[in-house]
């Protein structure tokens, strides 16, 4: 049942624009119900700030049910906070104890410049998808959906990878700011399906090349997968590496010759 | 009643449903629609606002055809649109299961589900293109669930007797949106679409009676900018957030539709809102939104409340004789699977009586103990494991040990901008697609039909109807952003936003949103009556004038300011809320999601008034939110018989 | 007021540019994924080396003649088909090439990674999966390279072999050189520490290889970590047994 969590010390990163240096600002939450979500706790704080005639803390959020991928936040050194397999919006105050200190920082990566306070720009992800994260299929010309059977295990594996919400926690958690889990997930989703075969290697090459312009490299720490709200497996990175190699070496005129 | 007797006929409300038999209408339209030659398409610019299912699919398809498309989203990325949160599935009349489904069956189910308050021609077209949607989405790589033979799997959903719902785990909306987003991304990459992200529509510019473009506010810089185009598509979603607490995303708003309304687009059936029965109840006053639990849970969960008002035992300690399995008692034939509106109202009545459960006594139990006993825990885990996990994460209770608590919440809005068969609003050149329009669901949307409608509009309807609208404009000049009207509208927007900053009162926009939401929920929620609605129509304006005097927005108009964004959205919700109540008040019947207490049978079922209300109410803006003018589009049913919905 | 307002442009035509094509291998090496291939392949070569180096050295337990004879054998690999020492030199040069590749890739990836997060987190990170091994790859790698230099100066070139002793370095007397070197406890200790770090490096590196090369299959995935740890353990145990054996007197002149 409902309990109160009291005397929380929040250290929130405030940064007035991309060029500002930024600093931690300390606020004390005297008490809040443990049913409140983490973002609702920030809502409460923001209303208080407005009451004090101060600017509200800027942070990205939208669906608040863990699927849109808009919310971010580094909470006590962990992307999306201490709860495994969930986004910040699905984190509740029952995960914290009285007198806890909670440090809140924005995602940090060269590819994710800070816009203001806790809000960052994750457009680099979109650039990667634009470069090849799709199956070319103009509206109207699609054959009957049941024409190509997809073995259930393949469909399931593609779905596992497709569950990615594009939140950027993998990049934020990675000690190298690498986006391999994000790119690997999209490639795995599309490259496993029969529909995705025609562009498979072109896609792998284009997306990896674009990723390279923005992000660091994978050193197999596994932090990305641990931070991933959808718990996407590191296997997707291996598949990406394999398809990228094939993209470079395969005779693409004779792709059917495996 | 006086008002209804002299029904105003309005020349703007011509539905333009093509001639011919129902089954031929769409083909006839396509056969006669004007086309734009491929090399001429690039001479036309189309603005698409919103990048959800309808917006992304429209923008991608139009760009694919060769039109120059400018797409706008207030999100950081098109992929964030709230279509992403749909869980259950998408309907299509594929009849892959061979269980008797057909286009006309889907059509009839949708018309009946909507309680005979939607347009036959539109609904039939929706059912027709539903089959193309599945083909299209599979081709794009949507990983729909498969059976072991590798073919597509289906599940059944409320309001249908066939299995026609395609799904991708509990994330169908996400997978479909990603499919559409990927097509849009491809076009952005190729240069067919220009994407304006973190950019919010703040007004629509109408010149000489035709939509000439839009004015946007860049959310990062606060700059206002004008964009001119040959056609504007609004795919900006529904207005469920008028209730403050809803299953909509935090940023969902009515601003685009409302601005269009204020510029001359009629707003249809604003009181038609859908309340979903299985949401997690509000836990405390700080709560900002409600979370939906898939309707599929009702397949095995039993809904009950305690019989005693002063019950304080834990759920499992309450013996059978002290439990009221009210859905099974009231609707023996459908039991726990009664349709959304009906189940919602039953739960509300018991909670209002004081029989609610949970710390705030604001929910009913959804109990799996019987299912676990019957099927064994592993089976229940396999069917609902992820949903149970989600529930535990949010509510902090383990549904294997104690029943879930659920309560209805606002989920979808069937009302929206009035559009004709071509999805054009009453402003020529301005189109509305997806949840933003009112078109296909009548008073109640069937489960798994929202995704279908969004994609149908974007992929398979707009590309044809927009060509039809644009063809006559070839080689004619349209006003550019240098036209003084753009400047005038820009200035108006500037003044409006500066106005919010200048009030310097004491209350945050969230405060007003919460208070407004409570009023709309109490008076224009699951059950409405004349007294309540009349009271709402005095209380909302009173709160609105307080909003205008006591609002506080900190920060400035330059740079990102989420408080300022919110203020603008709440402002529009105030005006919309008034219209919702007015619409509910004037519709003196009960139908689907609109339940007027005065119009019910002895058993509490809805009583329609086909004599006087078999029409769409389309409201015209008059410059004063309290005095909108009501117009009617009569609905005629040539194919289906008007009948009473019964789920007993 | 606001510290800087970004200039905002619509996003369009982001994927119409063409990437400059280089010769195949250079093209692969130009991306981070390709560099990881280089890391993995050179890593495999060096893993082969450390394993055989360790196995060969166990000959010291069979006595001086065996070990010295093994050294002679290496020089005569494929002899008389190939001239004496030619194969050995090919192996040496290849290994050095692999080392250079490994170092270059590591260096350029490090630069890339530093650039990828120019402003570090201002609060402490709470790592979940990253292990001591994975996080200390750079440190362990650098120490191992430094050790290698010492090791070559000590036992191959003999430059530092006699410091602190009164013996004489004779190239072909491998056994005697080893015993003399390890009789100095700081050298033995350095050897042990460096090999422990090598083990740490291998424990992560040998697993990483599978990921970097895309060798991923549910049938053997569970074995990848076990292989890496087992491999590292065998190499480390073998290697550190030598200085310990000398120190406690099992191996002596």
Residue C180 CA to residue C166 CA, distance in Å, equals 9
Q: For B143-147, B589-593, C216-220, which range has the lowest pLDDT when averaged over its residues?
A: C216-220
CA of C84 to nearest chain A CA: how many angstroms apart? 37
Radius of gyration of chain B (CA): 24
Mean of all residue pLDDT scores within chain B: 94
Element (H, E) at A74: strand A74-75
Q: Running DSSP on this structure, what letter comes out for residue B24?
A: G
Separation in Å, CA C156 to CA A81, C57, C151, C164: 53, 14, 7, 18
Work out the average pLDDT over B583-598. 96
Nearest C-alpha neighbor of A37 from the set B291, B563, B251:
B291
Tell me what pLDDT residue C3 has: 45
Tell me what pLDDT residue B334 has: 80
Q: Find out whether C218 and A237 touch, Cβ atoms under 8 Å.
A: no
Taking 70 as the threshold, does the pLDDT of residue B8 lie above it?
no
Q: Please state whether beta strands A114-116 and A119-120 pair in parallel, antiparallel, or not at all (unpaired).
A: antiparallel
Q: With contacts defined as CB-CB under 8 Å, which chain B residues touch A34?
A: 396
- With CB atoms and an 8 Å threshold, state whether A130 touches C215: no
Q: Find out whether C32 and C194 touch, Cβ atoms under 8 Å.
A: no
Residue B165 CA to residue B153 CA, distance in Å, equals 8
Taking 70 as the threshold, does the pLDDT of residue A252 lie above it?
no
- Torsion over CA: A87, A93, A97, A103 (sign): positive
| Neighbouring subunits of B (3+ Cβ pairs under 8 A) | A, C
Contacts of B5 (CB under 8 A, 6+ apart): none
Q: In chain B, pLDDT over 90 holds for what percent of residues?
A: 85
Of B125, B340, B345, B608, which residue is the catalytic one? B340
Tell me what pLDDT residue C53 has: 97
Residue A116 CA to residue A93 CA, distance in Å, equals 25
Q: Please state whether beta strands B45-49 and B231-234 pair in parallel, antiparallel, or not at all (unpaired).
A: parallel
Q: With contacts defined as CB-CB under 8 Å, which chain B residues touch A166?
A: 77, 79
A-contacting residues of B 503-522, CB under 8 Å? 506, 508, 510-511
Q: Which of B194, B558, B559 lies nearest to residue C11, judging by beta carbons?
A: B194
- With CB atoms and an 8 Å threshold, state whether B140 touches A151: no
Work out the average pLDDT over B635-648. 85
- With CB atoms and an 8 Å threshold, state whether B286 touches A121: no
- With CB atoms and an 8 Å threshold, state whether A86 touches B251: no
- Torsion over CA: B104, B106, B111, B113 (sign): positive
Q: What pLDDT band is residue B1 in, cutting at 50, 70 and 90?
A: very low
Q: Which of B190, B196, B559 lies nearest to residue C2, judging by beta carbons?
A: B559
- With CB atoms and an 8 Å threshold, state whether B283 touches A33: yes
Residue A132 CA to residue B173 CA, distance in Å, equals 22
Q: Cβ atoms within 10 A of the Cβ of A81, count?
A: 24
CA of C19 to nearest chain B CA: how many angstroms apart? 14
Residue C48 CA to residue C55 CA, distance in Å, equals 11
For C32-113+133-248, give the CATH class.
mainly alpha
Q: With contacts defined as CB-CB under 8 Å, which chain C residues touch A132?
A: 15
Taking 70 as the threshold, does the pLDDT of residue A240 lie above it?
yes
Work out the average pLDDT over B156-185. 91
Residue C38 CA to residue C28 CA, distance in Å, equals 9
Residue C30 CA to residue C186 CA, distance in Å, equals 42
Tell me what pLDDT residue B295 has: 81
Task: Pick from B182, B199, B567 the residue to mutate for testing the A interface (most A CBs within 10 Å).
Answer: B182
Separation in Å, CA C78 to CA A145, B605, C65, C88: 62, 96, 21, 9
Q: What pLDDT band is residue A254 in, cutting at 50, 70 and 90?
A: low
Tell me what pLDDT residue B279 has: 95
Which domains are present in chain A?
4-116 (3.10.20.30), 122-254 (1.10.1060.10)
Domain locations along chain C: 32-113+133-248
Q: In chain A, pLDDT over 90 holds for what percent of residues?
A: 94
Smallest CA–CA distance from C11 into chain B, residue: B195
CA of B435 to nearest chain C CA: how many angstroms apart? 26
**Phi, psi dihedral angles at A17 (to 5 degrees):** 105, 165
- With CB atoms and an 8 Å threshold, state whether C127 touches A223: yes
- Counted across chains A and C, CB pairs separated by less than 8 A come out at 175
C-contacting residues of A 97-116, CB under 8 Å? 103, 105, 108-111, 115-116
Mean of all residue pLDDT scores within chain C: 94
Q: Cβ atoms within 10 A of the Cβ of B513, count?
A: 23
Smallest CA–CA distance from A221 into chain C, residue: C130
Taking 60 as the threshold, does the pLDDT of residue B483 lie above it?
yes
Which stretches within chain C are classed as H helix?
A: 24-29, 32-57, 64-75, 86-116, 132-135, 137-151, 174-182, 185-212, 221-248
Tell me what pLDDT residue B4 has: 43
- Cis amide leading into C240 (omega within 30): no
- The DSSP result for B608-631, as a single string, is --HHHH-EEEEEE--SSTT-PEEE
Mean of all residue pLDDT scores within chain A: 95
- CB contact B143 to C (< 8 Å): no
Q: With contacts defined as CB-CB under 8 Å, which chain C residues touch A208?
A: 31, 33
Taking 90 as the threshold, does the pLDDT of residue B10 lie above it?
no
B340 assigned to active site: yes
Residue B23 CA to residue A145 CA, distance in Å, equals 23
- With CB atoms and an 8 Å threshold, state whether A240 touches C3: no
Q: Which of C2, C8, C13 lies nearest to residue B190, judging by beta carbons?
A: C13
Q: Find out whether B616 and B586 touch, Cβ atoms under 8 Å.
A: no
Higher pLDDT, B380 or B188: B188
Radius of gyration of chain A (CA): 21
Element (H, E) at A161: helix A152-162
Q: Running DSSP on this structure, what letter comes out for residue B211?
A: E
Residue B482 CA to residue B487 CA, distance in Å, equals 8
Nearest C-alpha neighbor of B216 from the set B231, B200, B205:
B200
Tell me what pLDDT residue A141 has: 86
Q: Cβ atoms within 10 A of the Cβ of B51, count?
A: 32
> pLDDT tens, C182-197?
999 999 999 999 999 9
> pLDDT tens, B415-461?
999 999 999 999 999 999 999 999 899 999 988 999 999 999 999 99
ipTM over 0.95: yes
Residue B143 CA to residue B153 CA, distance in Å, equals 11
C-contacting residues of B 534-563, CB under 8 Å? 556, 558-559
Taking 80 as the threshold, does the pLDDT of residue B68 lie above it?
yes
| Neighbouring subunits of C (3+ Cβ pairs under 8 A) | A, B
- With CB atoms and an 8 Å threshold, state whether B194 touches C10: yes
Q: With contacts defined as CB-CB under 8 Å, which chain B residues touch A17?
A: 559
For B373, counting Cβ atoms within 10 Å of its Cβ (0-12 exposed, 13-18 middle, 19+ buried), the class is exposed
- Cis amide leading into B278 (omega within 30): no
Q: What pLDDT band is residue A197 in, cutting at 50, 70 and 90?
A: very high
Q: Find out whether B106 and B166 touch, Cβ atoms under 8 Å.
A: no
Q: Running DSSP on this structure, what letter comes out for residue C222?
A: H
3-class SS of residue A49: helix
- With CB atoms and an 8 Å threshold, state whether A162 touches B143: yes
Q: B448 in the Ramachandran plot: left (φ > 0), alpha (ψ -120 to 50) or beta? A: left
Contacts of B177 (CB under 8 A, 6+ apart): B52, B53, B56, B79, B81, B83, B84
Q: With contacts defined as CB-CB under 8 Å, which chain A residues touch B135?
A: 142-145
Q: Which of B188, B191, B221 lies nearest to residue C8, judging by beta carbons?
A: B221
Q: Which of C5, C6, C10 lies nearest to residue B196, judging by beta carbons?
A: C10
Q: Which of C1, C8, C12 lies nearest to residue B191, judging by beta carbons?
A: C12
**Phi, psi dihedral angles at B478 (to 5 degrees):** -115, 155
Work out the average pLDDT over B386-409. 91
- With CB atoms and an 8 Å threshold, state whether C117 touches A216: yes
Q: Find out whether B142 and A135 touch, Cβ atoms under 8 Å.
A: no
Show contacts of B319-322: CB within 8 Å, 24+ apart.
none
Taking 80 as the threshold, does the pLDDT of residue C5 lie above it?
no
> pLDDT tens, A80-103?
999 999 999 999 999 999 999 999
Tell me what pLDDT residue A146 has: 97
Q: What pLDDT band is residue B647 in, cutting at 50, 70 and 90?
A: low
- CB contact A177 to C (< 8 Å): yes
- CB contact B182 to C (< 8 Å): no
Give me the count of residues in chain A.
258
Which domains are present in chain B?
49-274+412-471 (3.50.50.60), 276-410 (3.90.700.10), 484-631 (1.20.58.100)
Q: For A60-64, A130-134, B342-346, which range has the lowest pLDDT when averaged over its residues?
A: B342-346
Q: Find out whether B112 and B645 touch, Cβ atoms under 8 Å.
A: yes
Q: What pLDDT band is residue A255 in, cutting at 50, 70 and 90?
A: low
Name the β-bridge partners of B232. Answer: B47, B430
Taking 50 as the threshold, does the pLDDT of residue A209 lie above it?
yes
Work out the average pLDDT over C58-67. 95
- With CB atoms and an 8 Å threshold, state whether B194 touches C16: no
Taking 60 as the threshold, does the pLDDT of residue B297 lie above it?
yes
Q: With contacts defined as CB-CB under 8 Å, which chain A residues touch B284?
A: 2, 33, 35-36
Tell me what pLDDT residue B383 has: 78
Taking 80 as the threshold, does the pLDDT of residue B339 lie above it?
no
Taking 90 as the threshold, does the pLDDT of residue B646 lie above it?
no
Rounded to the nearest angstrom, the gap between the alpha carbon of residue C160 and the centroid of all alpha carbons in its chain is: 22
Q: What pLDDT band is residue B469 in, cutting at 50, 70 and 90?
A: very high
Contacts of B282 (CB under 8 A, 6+ apart): B245, B290, B360, B362, B407
CA of C238 to nearest chain A CA: how many angstroms apart? 27
Work out the average pLDDT over B485-503. 98
What would the two tokens of residue A220 be? 């197999």
């Amino acid at each position: 049942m409902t309990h109160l969590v009291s005397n929380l010390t929040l250290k929130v990163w405030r940064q007035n624009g991309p060029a500002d240096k930024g600093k931690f600002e300390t606020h004390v939450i005297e008490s809040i119900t443990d049913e409140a979500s983490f973002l609702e706790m920030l809502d409460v704080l923001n209303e208080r700030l407005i009451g004090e005639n101060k600017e509200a803390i800027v942070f990205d959020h939208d669906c608040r049910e863990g699927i849109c991928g808009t919310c971010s936040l580094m909470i006590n050194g962990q992307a999306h906070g201490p709860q495994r397999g969930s986004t910040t919006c699905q984190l509740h105050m029952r995960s914290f104890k009285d007198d806890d200190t909670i440090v809140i920082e924005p995602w940090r990566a060269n590819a994710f410049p800070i816009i203001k306070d806790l809000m960052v720009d994750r457009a680099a992800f979109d650039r990667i998808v634009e470069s090849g994260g799709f199956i070319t299929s103009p509206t109207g010309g699609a054959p009957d959906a049941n024409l190509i059977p997809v073995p259930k295990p393949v469909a399931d594996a593609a779905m596992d990878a497709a569950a990615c919400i594009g939140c950027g926690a993998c990049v934020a958690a990675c000690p190298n700011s690498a986006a391999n889990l994000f790119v690997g997930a999209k490639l795995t989703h599309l490259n496993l399906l029969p529909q995705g075969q025609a562009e498979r290697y072109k896609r792998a090459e284009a997306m990896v090349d674009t990723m390279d312009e923005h992000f660091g490299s994978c050193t197999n720490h596994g932090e990305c997968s641990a931070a991933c709200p959808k718990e996407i497996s590191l296997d997707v990175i291996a598949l990406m590496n394999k398809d990228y190699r094939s993209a470079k070496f395969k005779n693409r005129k004779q792709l059917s010759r495996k | 009643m006086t008002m209804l007797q002299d029904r105003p006929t309005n020349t703007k409300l011509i539905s333009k449903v093509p001639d011919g038999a129902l089954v031929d209408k769409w083909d006839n339209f396509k056969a006669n629609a004007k086309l734009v030659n491929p090399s001429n398409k690039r001479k036309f610019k189309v603005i698409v606002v919103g990048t959800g299912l309808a917006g992304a699919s429209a923008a991608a398809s139009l760009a694919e055809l060769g039109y120059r498309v400018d797409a706008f989203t207030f999100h950081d990325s098109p992929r964030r649109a709230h279509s992403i949160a749909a869980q259950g599935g998408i309907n299509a009349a594929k009849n892959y299961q061979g269980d008797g489904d057909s286009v006309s069956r889907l059509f009839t189910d949708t018309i009946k589900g909507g309680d005979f308050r939607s347009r036959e021609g539109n609904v039939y077209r929706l059912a027709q293109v539903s089959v193309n949607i599945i083909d299209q989405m599979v081709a794009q790589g949507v990983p729909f669930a498969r059976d072991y033979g590798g073919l597509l799997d289906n599940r059944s959903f409320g309001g249908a007797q066939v299995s026609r719902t395609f799904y991708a785990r509990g994330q169908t909306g996400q997978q479909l949106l990603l499919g559409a987003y990927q097509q849009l991304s491809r076009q952005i990459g190729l240069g067919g679409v220009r994407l304006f992200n973190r950019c919010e529509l703040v007004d629509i510019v109408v010149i000489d009676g035709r939509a000439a473009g839009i004015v946007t506010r860049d959310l990062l810089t606060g700059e206002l900018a004008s964009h001119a185009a040959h056609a504007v598509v609004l795919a900006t979603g529904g207005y469920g957030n008028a209730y403050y607490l809803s299953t909509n995303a935090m940023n969902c708003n009515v601003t685009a539709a409302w601005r269009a309304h204020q510029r001359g687009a009629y707003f249809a059936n604003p009181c038609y809102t859908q309340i979903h029965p299985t949401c997690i109840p509000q836990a405390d006053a700080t709560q900002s939104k409600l979370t939906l639990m898939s309707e599929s849970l009702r397949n095995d969960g039993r809904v009950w409340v305690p019989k005693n008002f002063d019950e304080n035992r834990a759920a499992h300690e309450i013996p059978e004789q002290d439990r009221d399995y009210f859905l099974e008692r009231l609707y023996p034939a459908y039991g726990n699977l009664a349709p959304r509106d009906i189940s919602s109202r039953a739960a509300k009545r018991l909670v209002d009586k004081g029989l609610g459960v949970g710390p705030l006594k604001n929910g009913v139990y959804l109990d799996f103990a019987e299912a676990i006993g019957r099927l064994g825990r592993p089976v229940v885990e396999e069917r609902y494991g992820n949903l149970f996990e989600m529930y535990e994460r949010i509510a902090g209770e383990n549904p294997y040990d104690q029943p879930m608590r659920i309560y209805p919440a606002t989920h979808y809005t069937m009302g929206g901008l009035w559009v004709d068969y071509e999805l054009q609003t009453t402003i020529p050149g301005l189109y509305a697609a997806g949840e933003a329009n009112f078109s296909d669901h009548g008073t109640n949307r069937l489960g798994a039909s929202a995704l279908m409608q969004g994609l149908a509009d974007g992929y398979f309807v707009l590309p044809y109807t927009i060509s039809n609208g644009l063809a006559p404009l070839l080689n004619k000049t349209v006003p550019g952003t240098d036209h003084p009207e753009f400047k005038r509208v820009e200035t108006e927007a500037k003044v409006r936003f500066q106005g919010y900053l200048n009030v310097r009162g004491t209350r945050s926009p969230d405060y007003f949103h919460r208070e407004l939401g409570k009023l709309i929920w109490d008076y224009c929620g699951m059950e409405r009556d004349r007294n309540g609605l009349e009271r709402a129509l005095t209380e909302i304006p009173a709160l609105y004038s307080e909003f205008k005097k006591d609002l506080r927005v900190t920060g400035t108009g330059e740079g990102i300011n989420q408080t300022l964004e919110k203020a603008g959205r709440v402002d529009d919700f105030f005006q919309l809320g008034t219209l919702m109540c007015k619409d509910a008040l004037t519709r003196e019947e009960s139908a689907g999601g609109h339940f007027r207490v005065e119009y019910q049978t002895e058993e509490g079922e809805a009583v329609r008034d086909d004599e006087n209300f078999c029409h769409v109410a389309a409201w015209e803006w008059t410059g004063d939110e309290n005095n909108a003018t009501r117009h009617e589009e009569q609905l005629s049913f040539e194919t289906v018989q008007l009948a009473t919905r019964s789920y007993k | 007021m606001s510290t800087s307002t970004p200039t905002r442009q619509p996003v369009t035509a982001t994927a119409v540019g063409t990437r400059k094509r280089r010769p195949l291998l250079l093209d692969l090496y130009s991306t981070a994924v390709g560099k990881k291939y280089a890391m993995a392949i050179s890593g495999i070569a060096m893993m082969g080396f450390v394993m055989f180096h360790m196995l060969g050295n166990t000959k010291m337990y069979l006595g001086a003649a065996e070990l010295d004879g093994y050294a002679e054998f290496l020089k005569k690999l494929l002899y008389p088909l190939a001239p004496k020492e030619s194969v050995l030199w090919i192996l040496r040069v290849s290994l050095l090439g692999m080392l250079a590749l490994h170092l270059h890739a590591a260096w350029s990836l490090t630069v890339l990674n530093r650039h990828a997060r120019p402003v570090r987190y201002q609060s402490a990170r709470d790592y979940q999966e990253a292990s001591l091994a994975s996080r200390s790859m750079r440190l362990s790698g650098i120490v191992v390279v430094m050790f290698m230099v010492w090791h070559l100066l000590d036992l191959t070139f003999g430059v530092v072999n006699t410091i602190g002793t009164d013996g004489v370095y004779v190239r072909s007397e491998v056994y005697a050189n080893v015993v003399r070197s390890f009789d100095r406890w700081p050298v033995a200790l350095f050897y042990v520490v460096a090999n422990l770090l090598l083990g740490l490096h291998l424990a992560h590196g040998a697993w990483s290889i599978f990921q970097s090369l895309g060798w991923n299959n549910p049938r053997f995935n569970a074995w990848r970590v076990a292989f890496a740890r087992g491999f590292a353990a065998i190499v480390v145990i073998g290697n550190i047994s030598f200085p310990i054996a000398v120190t406690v007197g099992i191996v002596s002149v």
